[in-house]
Chains A and B, each alone.
Chain A
């Protein structure tokens, strides 16, 4: 039997104190495709994304109900190790957030956290840096600047580095929360290109504010409104012939 891949939720609800931010969200996100997540500001896109690596729990007063299965396992079941979960489910944030370390140490940060000094050989580390930076297309530009501070890079390079930082841990799922919103159009285009290249190897879920971007990079698209999942279909279908009137209004820009 092959292991189920991707993400599946059943009746996922989430409360911030009294306020319910997610209402019975049930969805299935497939491996090897880019799934876009669109919807107006405050509809719960970020919240949903953050359910998938259980980082919401660090916030006071958050309560979750329902099920989330990743790689076939219920990640909210007792006995789930958050460390293992977060190694498998990487997240890229709206603003690039490289750590104030060198380029090299940023890429290796995950390994340094999970392995004791001496457990990793020098050549393994060097290989991890090269492979990760190559995968995000930064190797040529940065191979002579591995010792430079990551925070001195351009925003585009920083964001790519934040993706590269996840890769040495061999993640299965990449969650991206408006990864291009801090970038200029040219940089956005190149990061989109990168996301398309990563598509086959990972389950990618990308939140975007930008309708055109959702059309360009996603294979499937999910439209959310006020904490509810309204429509989830192939991207073309969702944009060309939306089933729900609210989806149609949104993708045609009648409200935002």
Chain B
């Protein structure tokens, strides 16, 4: 036997490595298949419904025909207003927690609260939204109430993801800054934020899809089954894609399947579009800043 001949031991290791590889590959395929299946079915059954008319007109005849334009517009309002509230608050809160707050039991309680809030089911946020915004603050069922509810739901996740992005900026950068006499705020503004903005944006944009997809938080707070006009201000009610999908697939009889699947497809495409934009932005920023 030569010195370099494979020993039984190394042959055995090689075998188990191959087995592990096969298992992991199978897992990956198992993971990807359902996604592809869902997308495939949506496209197959929804694509025929898609047309400019479907996108840009209102539903007619008890939502059994026509388009989904009011729902698209409503979803944009809800997502836009809710993120306009939760993104700045969330980022500032995360900056405070990560860059200013000293480690004390108060900050630890806050961390715990954020982690737990992020895990609260959306129907609970919905109830809170009804109690707080619709009834107590008397915003009524309106875009404002619904957006605030969505903002409450997305806020903890945005704080958590932003904190993570900030924590990923090496400490040595901050020290380099302090070392030339920069204040904490200057350090954050000139070094920490520019180097974490990609991660921060990613976290926020992931919440776009979440806010667009949820039904429960808007169900009782501001989304309506059918509104014959487009919202003019945050005090109006609106339709929303997720809500519309829920309604036409469970509450209304004899809706052609193509309309249901078409609505779902538009919702998914919207989310994919937003995520795509975020990926482009992120890779742009990444290319600019590297360490």
Q: Which residues of A contact B (CB under 8 A)?
A: 53, 55, 58, 60, 82-87, 90-91, 93, 95, 97-100, 109-110, 112-114, 149, 151, 162, 165-166, 169
Contact A97 B290 (CB under 8 A): no
**B190 is an interface residue with CB less than 8 A from chain A:** yes
Please name all residues of chain A whose beta carbon is closer than 8 Å to the beta carbon of B284 when the two chains form the complex.
none
CB of B181 closer than 8 Å to a CB of A: yes
List 14 additional A-B contacts (Cβ < 8 Å) besides A86-B180, A110-B180.
A55-B179, A58-B178, A60-B102, A83-B181, A87-B181, A91-B179, A93-B175, A97-B173, A99-B173, A99-B191, A113-B177, A113-B180, A166-B180, A169-B181
Q: Is B172 an interface residue (CB 8 A)?
A: yes
Give residues in B with beta carbon < 8 Å to A.
102-103, 170, 172-173, 175-183, 186, 190-191, 195, 289-291
Q: Contact at B178–A100, with CB atoms within 8 Å? A: no
Cα-based distance from A87 to B177 in the complex (angstroms): 11
A83 to B185, CA, bound (A): 13
Which residues of chain A come closer than 8 Å to B102, judged between CB atoms? 60
Closest to B170 in A: A97
Kindly report which residue of chain B lies nearest to residue A85, judged by CB atoms: B181
Q: How long is the Cα–Cα vector from A83 to B183 in the complex, in angstroms?
A: 7
In the bound complex, how far is the Cα of B173 from the Cα of A99, in angstroms?
A: 6
What's the least CB distance linking B188 to chain A, in Å? Answer: 12
- Can you pick out 18 interface pairs between chain A and chain B where the beta carbons lie within 8 Å of each other? A53-B179, A55-B178, A83-B181, A83-B183, A86-B179, A86-B181, A87-B180, A97-B172, A98-B176, A99-B173, A99-B176, A100-B289, A113-B181, A113-B190, A114-B181, A151-B291, A165-B176, A169-B181
- Please pick, from A84, A86, A151, the residue contacting B178 in the complex, using a CB distance under 8 A: A86
**Cβ contacts under 8 Å, B180 to chain A:** 86-87, 90, 109-110, 113, 165-166, 169
CB distance from A99 to the nearest CB of B (A): 6
Question: In the bound complex, what is the Cα–Cα distance between A90 and B176 (angstroms)?
Answer: 10
